[in-house]
Amino acid sequence: MIAIAGVLIMVFLANMVAAKIARPWLLYYVPLAASVLFLYFFPVSLPLGWSFPARLAYSLVAMPLPIFFAGIIFSSKFRESPDPGFSFGSNMLGTMFGGLVEYLGMVTGSRALLLVVLGFYAASLLVRLPRRARRSSVSL
């Protein structure tokens, strides 16, 4: 229940923030990557020694934080979409694929799954970059 509440809170907050910002969606990839890397390097056992309110705050804020930044990126780009139906359908396919990939965590562990998530977000960034920027980064 707490994990789902954290996800729903982050999705709600991301939509509220995305409604207020103009267009800097590209900048949100930096804190998105930072939050995923934080979860990767943060010792999982450390919060076990914390008080209940601290563990609750960690579960509601820190763990679902990548969802907040991903939500801002999605909502900002969705608003600009010329074909919202296609964009929403693509997002649903990505969600289903992500759910399937989550089972990979049973084999590799949840920390390694964070690296897979980071790879997917990096691929998302590369696809969303303007073509001119992609050509110059590929030629490096």
Query: What pLDDT, in 10s, does the model give residues 76-127?
Result: 888 888 888 988 888 888 888 888 888 888 888 888 888 988 998 998 888 8
pLDDT of residue 100: 85
Confidence of residue 25 (pLDDT cuts 50, 70, 90): confident
pTM of the model: 0.82
Q: Taking the CB of residue 113, how many other CB atoms lie within 10 A of it?
A: 18
CA 40 from centroid of its chain's CA atoms? 13
Q: The tokens of 127 are what?
A: 């696809």
The domain locations on the chain are 2-138
Average pLDDT over residues 39-68: 94
Please state the φ and ψ torsions of residue 45, each to the nearest 5 degrees: -80, -15
HSE-up of residue 52 (Cα within 13 Å, Cβ side): 1
d(CA 111, CA 82): 37
d(CA 41, CA 50): 18
